[in-house]
Every structure is written in C-alpha cells, then in structure tokens.
Amino acid sequence: MIKKSEIIEREEVVIRFSGDSGDGMQLTGTLFSDTAAQLGNDLSTFPDYPAEIRAPQGSVGGVSGFQVHMGHSEINMPGDFSDVLVAMNPAAIKANIRWVKEGGTIIYDKDNFTDKNIEKAGYEKDPIAEEKLDGLNIIDAPISSMVKEALKDMGLDPKSVIKTKNMFALGMVFWLFDRKLDFTEKYIDKKFSSKPEIANANKIVLRAGYYYAETIEALRPVFRILPAPISKGTYRNISGNAATAWGLMAAAEKAGLNIFIGSYPITPATGILEEFAAHKELGTISVQAEDEIAGICTALGASFAGKLAVTSTSGPGLALKSEAIGLAVMTELPIVIIDVQRGGPSTGLPTKTEQADLMQALYGRNGECPVVVLAASTPSDCFDYAYEAARIALEHMTPVILLTDSYLANGTEPWRIPSMKDLKEIKPRFADLKEIPFLPYKRDDEKLAREWAFPGMPGLEHRIGGLEKTAKGTVSYVPENHENMINIRAEKVERVANYIPDLPVIGDKSGDLLVVGWGGSYGYLLTAVRELNLEGYNVSLANFNYINPFPKNVREVFQSFKKILVCELNMGQFADFLRIKYQEFSYEQLNKVQGLPFTLAEIKDKCINLLEDK
C-alpha cells in the first residue's frame, strides 16, 4: 500500500455515505463498517433511507444515507454530525449539509452536478456556493467520468459501468481512513461469483477510487483510527432486528420449546419476521399472516398449543393487535409482542425513529389490562431484552411487550457473541400431567402465575377464553369475583419486579443531576453524560429497560439527586408515567419529535442549563 505522508490519529470519526436510493449507499456503508469492525474499531451505524423504494431520481426525498461512527474508544451511538460526507448528487448535499461538522470534509461526484440535478435538489446554480461551505474541505471528484474511463476497455454496457461508482467513492474513503481493500475485494468476488466481469469491474473501480484519492493533494491529512480496547471474545456485527429475532430463538432453545412467529410485514419491523423465516434450520415456524390481527392471533393459537409465541410489528400494528393482547392477558398465555417504534401517529414517518408508543404499550387496551413492558437500548442488547421478554412471558404466564425503535432495528454495532451456556435458565410453567382435574387458573404463591397445559396432554383438557372467570376457570359474572381477578392479574405483573435486576446508575450514585432515559436513546444520553463528566459536570445517567413493572430501587435512585431530567423522543410519555408512579419527585423534560434522535448538543445544553440554574 502507498505510504501516507501525513497521518492524523483520531479518537473517533463519523462518515455519512449519501446518494440516490439506487446508488448503492447502504452497501457502501456496510462494507466500510464491516472493514472497520474487522480492524478492531468499535462502531455504531445507522442506515437512513426514504420510505419510497425508488423515489424520483435526484430528488431530496429520494436520498438514501448510511452513517458510520467508528472509534478507538467505546462508541455508543451512530453519531449526530459527520466528519465526512460522501454526496453522490446535489440532493444528497441538500439533505445532509446541516449534519456536517464544522471543518468537515465533503466528497461529491461533480459529474452528477448537472443543471437538471441541481435544480431538482432545489438549488439555483451552484450548491457549494449557495450553501456557503467555505469552512469545509470540499473535494469535487469527477467520479462518474473516472469510472467510465477506468472501465472503458471492459466492454460492459453503460448501465453496469455507472452502477460501480459507489465502489469508487468507497475506494476514496478507504484511502482517507488508511484502510485496506482486501475485505471488500473478497466480498465483491463472493457477491458476483457468477459474473466475474462485474466482479472485476467493481474491483478495478474500487482501486481507481483509492489511487485517485492518493493522487490528489486535497485529501490530506489521512485519518487513522486505532483499534478500540474492547473485551476479548468473538465478535460479529448485528442489527437490532436480527438481534431481536436471535434473542427469541435463543430463549426458545433454552426453554426447550419450538418458536412460532405470526407477523405481518410493516416497516421498520419486517426484518424480524424475515430473520425468523430465514432460520427454519432451528425449527422456527414463521407464518406471514393476512393482517396484523391474524399475526398475533396465530401466535396466540400457537401459545395455546405450547410454543414460544412471538409477533412483531410497529406502532400502527400494535394498535390493531390491542384486542388480542387483551385476550392474552385474560387467558394468561405467554406471548412476546415486539413493537419497533417509528414516527406516528397513523402512518406518520414509517422509516424514522420515535419513542411515542410507550403509553400505547402500557395502556392501549380496553379494561384493566396490565402487561409487562420492556425496552431495548442498543442494537445488540435487543438480543438480551428479547431473551428477557421470552423468559418473563414463559415463567410468569403473561404477554410481554418489547419496545425497540427504528434506530435500533436498522442500526448495527459489533457484538461480543454470547455462549448459550452462559444465558439464564428459562423454566416454562408446564402443568403436571398427574394433576387431574387441571384447574387452568390455579396459581403459585410467589409469582401468581398459572400453569400451562396444552392440547395433546392427556387428562388436562380445559377451556379458556376472554370472558371473566373464577379461579377454577368457570365463566363468572359475580361482581366481587371480577374485581378479585382484576387485582390478581395486576399483582401478577407487579410481582415480576421480584425477578428483574435493579436499575443501574452510570456515574456517581448521587449528585446534582440525574439524566433519565428509556430504551433507544441510551447511546446518545450516555455519550452526552460522559462528555459532560469530562467537562467537570456532576451528571449521572439512569436508562430504563424494565418499564412495567419498574425495578424495585427506582425511588432509592431518584432521591439521591437534586434534579431529574427525563429525555425521550416524544412529548413526555415516560415523564408522565414516572409522575404517576413516583409522585414525590419533580421531573424536568427534554423532548423531541422530529423522527430523529437527540443531538449531543441538545442533551448537553439542557443539562448545563439545569445545572447552572441552581
């Protein structure tokens, strides 16, 4: 490889690949991040794509992006502002320019800055001049023409030629970050194994981009990100959706059960169903149902028949599943419902992130209808909380809603692969075949959970249903019985608190300010709190994964801080829930509903304001 004359070591860097949704930006970003991971960087990625599969070419609405945040130290979020923006057309500049750091670098394909494309992006003549990008390092690379030049002797059709231009951009970025090409070359060989000429073209263009970047002076200095000091083990990159599916599959294996998923495709949750469908080798039964309601109802049928039952959806689908969740509460059948939250209400922002389904998960059903609610906080810990959701469902005979979000679902990060033997035991509450007659609603004293008998078990035939019933399972309209059963079902969910860990506090256990979050905003909050600590502020973080019931130490944690700031991507649903549960504290709020995560500056400014307003 070429020697770099000037190399700057950086702790971390954020790169955003951006272009038309047909430009191959998701693949480019994935290849870059996989290479970084192989070199031992910690990283976090996020794909940002339009809801339309192929929005009008060159339009701002059609811009597809992939952001990679990699570092020599621990990385907990995909990053808000980017150091390097790769823009394949003018619309990519328009869509992303506000997210480029001061002093950052923009690489753009100047061949694609035609009058037509400039106009489509909403510029008059010159996007670079109109955006006043003086403080930035601008590299106007003639990517399209250089790709054509590099492949002119290959005899490929023009369409195939131009399709390789993302590899040119990738080659440039590889040089900029002092990366080797072998991983990507191997990938190309494998992907195009049946089309060697296409594989060859892609490799030629990748190298052409690399050498072009090396040749032009403008790209200096080169950044080097040294490997992160991460713990020993075998790693892989994993997305939140895949981790969710794998966590549930792991739980099924641990519990000695087959898994059944009934789901209906919905962005951004579809990846979960796809992941299950792809792993039939582990006995996974996946049913793509006719609608959201059938998704949960087939799963509930499977639960009645003795499987680990799962349904996955997003906010609109959770709304449709409400009645069936109520049935699961009433019949006390184990089922895991995953809601990958997206911007709402209604169809809202299908590909953007939000945390606004919390109240729906907690309360969105008729009658007194408590369920266990968990939330995952990173792409890889979707595995852990999916596993926990299944454990709680099976051991406590209750539906569990697991909240993730669009950011977690599609984001990826390196994940130290767990070994099955290290995961918690899961003991489903199978009924005793000798206990005849079987009373479906007989409970144990500790958990108040009933036992699970399913068709095929001789002698335990019984009926369950959505009507109120006595402890024996007989339908009952007796007023006192109804109230008693309501109380028992609520108490059963409350007692799950005895079987979950305490709320951890990151930072000092007492102090001036506790930042409180839940679920997917964890990475941003953690990064902000760490930076504040380095700047000398006394701030700690408590991020909730167990939301209903709460861990038992919440009050104890809260009373050790002077102020509590609840940060969430909604109008204050979690803060309101805390106000219901822990009325003695007062809660400051930081809220955002733009379909985007917090920026670090937003979190830090709010914290500093609160700290200085003593």
Q: Which residues bind other proteins (CB under 8 A)?
A: 34, 37-38, 40, 230-237, 246, 249-250, 253, 258, 260, 262, 279-285, 287, 289-291, 293-294, 297-307, 309, 323-324, 326-327, 331, 416-420, 454-467, 474-475
Rank residues 294 and 340 by Cβ distance to other proteins and give the closer one.
Answer: 294
- Return the structure tokens found at 297: 């109802």
User: What is the C-alpha separation between 485 and 461, in angstroms, rounded?
Assistant: 22
Name, in order, each residue with C-beta under 8 angstroms of 119's C-beta and a sequence gap of 6 or more.
none
Report how far residue 473's alpha carbon sits from residue 413's, in angstroms, rounded to the nearest whole number. 47
Whole-angstrom Cα distance, residue 374 to residue 383?
A: 12
| Backbone torsion region of residue 470, taken as left when φ is above 0, otherwise alpha when ψ lies between -120 and 50, otherwise beta | beta
d(CA 360, CA 475): 29
DSSP type of residue 229: -
Tell me the closest approach of the beta carbon of residue 474 to other proteins, in angstroms: 7
Q: At closest approach, how far in Å is the CB of 65 from other proteins?
A: 23
The one-letter amino acid at 208: A
Give the pairing type, strands 7-9 and 63-71.
Answer: unpaired
Q: Are 496 and 374 a contacting pair, CB within 8 Å?
A: no
Length of the chain, please?
A: 614
CA dist 485 and 490 (Å) reads 9
526 residue type, one letter: L
Task: Supply the minimum distance, in Å, between the C-beta of residue 70 and other proteins.
Answer: 14
Nearer to other proteins, 423 or 593 (CB): 423
Comparison of 197 and 432: residue with beta carbon closer to other proteins: 432
Nearer to other proteins, 345 or 465 (CB): 465
Least gap, CB of 48 to other proteins (angstroms) = 23
Phi (first) and psi of residue 562, to 5 degrees: -75, -40
My answer on whether omega of the bond before 221 falls inside 30° of 0, hence cis, is yes
Q: What separation in angstroms does the CA of 85 have from each of 27, 44, 266, 374, 465?
A: 16, 16, 30, 36, 57
> Shortest approach of other proteins to residue 453 CB, angstroms?
8
Least distance from other proteins to the Cβ atom of residue 76, Å: 18
In the complex with other proteins, the residue whose CB is nearer, 88 or 389, is 389
Closest approach, Cβ 250 to other proteins, in A, equals: 5
Strand partners, 312: 338
* Closest approach of other proteins to the CB of residue 323, in Å: 6
The string over 273-291, giving b where at least 16 C-beta atoms fall within 10 Å of a residue's C-beta and e elsewhere, is bbbbbeeeeeebbbbbbee
DSSP state of 111: G
Whether the bond into 455 is cis, omega within 30 of 0 = no
Q: How far is CA 446 from the centre of its chain?
A: 35
Report residue 528 as tokens: 């902000």
* Tokens coding 556: 């104890």
Closer residue to other proteins, CB minimum distance, 294 or 569: 294
Closest CB to other proteins among 136 and 300? 300
The DSSP output letter for 255 is: H
Nearest approach, Cβ of residue 441 and other proteins (Å) = 14
Instruction: Determine the Cα–Cα distance for residues 521 and 407; give it in Å rounded to an integer.
Output: 9
Q: Choose between 434 and 463: whose C-beta lies nearer to other proteins.
A: 463
Cα distance between residue 40 and residue 229, in whole Å: 8
User: Closest CB to other proteins among 457 and 608?
Assistant: 457
At its nearest, how many Å lie between other proteins and the CB of residue 236? 5
CB of 158 to other proteins, least distance (A): 33
Rounded to 10°, the helix 165-176/196-215 angle is 40
- CB of 601: closest distance to other proteins in angstroms? 32
Are the C-beta atoms of residues 376 and 403 closer than 8 Å to each other? Answer: yes
Of 208 and 255, the one with the shorter C-beta distance to other proteins is: 255
